[in-house]
Amino acid sequence: MSKKSILLIGKGFLGNAIFEEATRKNFQIIGTNYSNISNSTKLDITNIHSLENLIGKINPDYIINLASINDINYLEQNEKIANSINTRGPKNIAKIAQEKGIRFFHISTDSIFDGKTGNYSEVDTPKPINVYSSSKFQGELEIQKYNNNHIILRTNFYGFDLRDRYFFNWILKNFKEKNKIIGFDDVIFTPLDVKTLSKMIIELFDIRFKGILNLSSDKPVSKFEFILTSAKFCKIPESKIICGKQDDLKMIAKRPKNTSLDNSLAKKLLKNSPVKLSDWLHTNREIISKYLK
């Protein structure tokens, strides 16, 4: 494969957005997935021999790993599966990328912190509070141990998923069905839309940076505020949005409450900048309107 080629591991929600952006930028890109889905190559990152064979065959300039399992309640009772995919998988990729001199990008999560303070920087010490976040953090540590040409990206993202999954699609689905929605005002995050996040990741290819980097929006927002802003844009009655508390729900796994990230380092490095939720909604008004009909 020629230069400026990408192996994208995990062609799902964010993966599709990266695939589209990389194609637009004239990169050669191959996407993989654990299951056989269209326009992707089947790959199991826990099988190091399969990884070696595929990476050796493609010989890409960049590897982006998005493969992860994030069913938090399920993983709380299935720690071996969490560690297999979220810890040993990234370790396998990191080792091969190091051996072959391939620049490695790994997508981590803002959930590795305990959520007691928020506004976490790249140098703050993670304190995972559930099996999922622990397995993701251990994955970061394995990458740092075995690879010296990596970027670990801590982030949280939203957008319109074509498979009708994830947070924003859940919001729209409830709007369409005229359901009431409970939004937690005690859960704070700094999410990026997937298109902007994809642009930032591709931009990093040309920037001489290694290590951990936060990619997030500028302003922390609660889940309640996020839903309410979306409701106002979609002309959904505010009475349909109920302000609630995460503690009111009995969940198998604990969740951090404030995972907001400090993105000051990314803003110094990157030309692409975060888009406000209100602006993103306006830009995507046609697809949102079509969904709600």
Which pLDDT does position 3 carry in this prediction?
A: 59
Three-state SS for 71? coil
| Structural domains of the chain in order of their starting residue, each with its CATH number | 5-161+191-217+260-275 (3.40.50.720)
Q: Is residue 64 packed enough to be buried (19+ CB in 10 Å), middle (13-18) or exposed (0-12)?
A: buried
What is the per-residue pLDDT across 166-205, written as a single tens digit (0 to 9) for each?
999 999 999 999 999 999 999 999 999 999 999 999 999 9
pTM, to two decimals:
0.95
Residue 247's pLDDT is 86
Q: Which residue has the tokens 């689905």?
A: 173
DSSP conformation class of 9: E
% of the chain surpassing 90 pLDDT: 90
Distance CA(164)–CA(245), nearest Å, equals: 25
Q: What is the pLDDT of residue 1?
A: 43
Does the pLDDT value for residue 234 go beyond 90?
yes
**pLDDT given for residue 38 in this prediction:** 64
Between 2-11, 95-104, 105-114, 171-180, the lowest mean confidence (pLDDT) is in 2-11
Q: What is the pLDDT of residue 266?
A: 98
When pLDDT is averaged across residues 61-74 and rounded to a whole number, the result is 96
pLDDT of the residue at 36 = 64
What is the DSSP secondary-structure string of 131-145? HHHHHHHHHHHHHHH
pLDDT digits (tens, 9 = 90+) for 206-222: 999 999 999 999 999 99
Q: Is there a contact between 147 and 94 (Cβ–Cβ < 8 Å)?
A: yes
163 secondary structure, DSSP code: T
DSSP 125: P
